[in-house]
Amino acid sequence: MRPGHRWIFESRQAWGRGTLFRLWRRVASWSASSRKKSGAQHRGSGKRFECGVHGALTAFSCFCMGAGLVILFIIPEVMTAFTVLSTISAILFIFAWAMIVVAYIRYRSIDPQLHIASRFKMPGGLLMPWLVLAFFVFVIMLLALEPDTLHAMLCMPIWFAILAVAYRRKRQAPQLASETSIS
pLDDT per position as a tens digit, 121-145:
777 878 899 999 999 999 999 999 9
What one-letter code names the amino acid at 156? Answer: M
Residues 41-60, mean pLDDT to the nearest whole number: 64
What pLDDT score was predicted for residue 21?
Answer: 57
End-to-end CA distance of the chain: 74
pLDDT band at 3 (very low <50, low <70, confident <90, very high): low
State how far the Cα of 2 lies from the Cα of 32, in Å rounded to an integer. Answer: 23
State how far the Cα of 162 lies from the Cα of 5, in Å rounded to an integer. Answer: 46
